[in-house]
A and B are shown apart, each in its own frame.
Chain A
Amino acid sequence: MRKIFCPTDFSEQANHAVEAGYYLAKKFNAEFHLFHVIESSAHTGFNIQGAPGGGTDMEDVFFLKLIKATKRRMTELVSTPGLEEIQVTSSIKIGKPNELIREEIESGGYTMVVMGTKGTSGMNEILVGSNAERVVRSAKIPVLTVKEFVDEQTFKSIIYASTFIDSDSELIEQVKMLQEAFDSEVHLLRVNTPNNFITDWSSRKLMKKFAKEHGLSKCTFNVYNDTIEEDGIMYFAEEIQAGLLVMTTHGRTGFSHLLSGSIAEDLVNHSKRPVLTYNTRK
């Protein structure tokens, strides 16, 4: 883990992502890059004449003010007490957040994305639920999404949820790195649903084989039943008070649940755990 990318909208959730990034960057001696996009279709697009710009004079004045304010906020963020302990860089871009974030992830040579989910409403809505999910689904590197306060303890109890049928080599490598760095407990978890039911006897075999194949020496084997996989993960996480959830997304739809909340969230008080995910669909 050499270079961590952190898109921010300066919201509370984004700040929690900065906390998470801080612990990771510190442990792994990684560069931490803060990234903000000022949303504007006008100032990146072209007008009818083909000239850049396109806003009215009043809008231009307002926009310049906005850029100035944003720069100030970024400077403030970079100088957050504690961040001087790690190598922090930052950049601000103007345009469409989703596109620019994706471009930056693809071209910046990053090894991990750390981002908040559920941004504030209004103009800074870059990181709101669905946006985060889009990034998660398209990124080719591991993405850590953060909703609430994170500290070092968060990384000490990790749930790795999988069917243990596909081999998710890259993600399990991340888990092993975290385990080594934070001396974490790793809990392998298979959620049994009526549509995907196997016996515990078989689950154990699969998990044992998986642990052996990936050289996971210290981990527990767990099976949890629920009608919905995501709910099962959350209930189990609540039961053992885990810190971090790790799973692959396979690029399919579905984890909107974990990233933007669900019925289970109403029932479980602290389901808002950080989720480390990684799209295995190349």
Chain B
Amino acid sequence: MKKILIPTDFSEEAGIAIEFAVELALKNGLAIKLVHVYEYPMSSAYSTLDIGGPDPTESEFVRTMIDKNKSLLEKSARQILDRGVQVDHELKIGNPFINLIKELDSDGYELVIMGSKGSSGFEEMIIGSNAEKVVRHAFCPVITLKGPIKINTIKDIVFASDFKGDHPELIRHLKQLQTYFGAKIHFVRINSLNSFEPDIISKRRINKWLENQMFDNFDVRIYNDTDEEEGMIHYAEEIGADMLAMGTHGRTGFAHLFSGSLAEDIVNHVKRPIWTLKMK
């Protein structure tokens, strides 16, 4: 059975990711793996002279925290199971990012679903900036949620690309995504001053790119904007799309899409989920 990975820190955002994943799993016959990474609080008390570990009171505190999180994790898993979705759970200790990437490498996941924009403090370890980090390194698709959303409302997905090169994995996953939601794909090339291209050239390339992919239920558009992120947001806004999708190159950037700060000025801005896949 294909599996969805959900990293959780028991926050509201993680709850949103779980709800979304449960709906998706029920609709498409998927299983869920819930992972919590307990970030071991490295003591600042280490000195060059001290070769010992954390002091006893600290270990005691850590043990209590781990036990507490374990029961929270079990509770979450039970709730998922009660909804009729096959679920597995695991608590890991260490660096959240490294542990999540390791988990992804160790098992064949179809999808990661995670919330973003955590509140301050501890929770930010997993969500927030970590979301973007995972997105940049995971070799399977990641859906980042910015707010609660029902899966049956996702009917139009904007997929932005430069339509250069051959990416069979991307195509396979994109088709899978389309099947998950039964949505229409709106292919778009964002044309900016830095990447300016006459439409006649873009259209020829896009048509060639799409020629052998046998997509159903899609359209194609070239959209002008100052950069790719703004273009995606504005275009999604214009056509009332419900999700943004793109392949990433593991480089930095796209921070805007996740923070949503750019889109603040857009009227009726909806916090759309973002689907990303790192391209090899």
B-binding residues in A (CB < 8 A): 192, 194, 197-201, 203-204, 223-227, 231-232, 235-236
Contact = CB atoms under 8 A, between A and B. Distances in A.
Contact of B199 (A197, A201, A225): A225
Nearest to A192: B224
A200 B199 contact: no
A270 to B, nearest CB: 15
A199 B262 CA distance: 15
Given A197-B193, A200-B234, A225 B225 contact: no
Interface centre among B196, B199, B200, B225 (most CB of A within 10 A): B200
Contacts of A231: 198
Contact of A223 (B193, B202, B224, B230): B224
A199 B196 CA distance: 12
Contacts of A227: 198
Nearest to A223: B224
Contacts of A198: 224
A148 B207 CA distance: 31
B274 to A, nearest CB: 20
Given A194-B193, A225-B191, A200 B224 contact: yes
B52 to A, nearest CB: 60
Contacts of A194: 193, 196
B240 to A, nearest CB: 14
Contact of A199 (B197, B199, B200, B226): B226
Question: 8 closest pairs, A vs B, by CB?
Answer: A226-B198, A200-B224, A225-B199, A199-B225, A201-B234, A194-B196, A197-B193, A235-B200
B198 A203 contact: no
A201 B267 CA distance: 12
B82 interface: no
Interface string B30-72: 0000000000000000000000000000000000000000000
Interface centre among A200, A232, A235 (most CB of B within 10 A): A200
B224 A203 contact: yes
Contacts of A226: 198-200
A196 to B, nearest CB: 10
Contacts of B222: 225
A235 B199 contact: yes
Contacts of A192: 191, 224
B205 to A, nearest CB: 13
Nearest to A204: B238
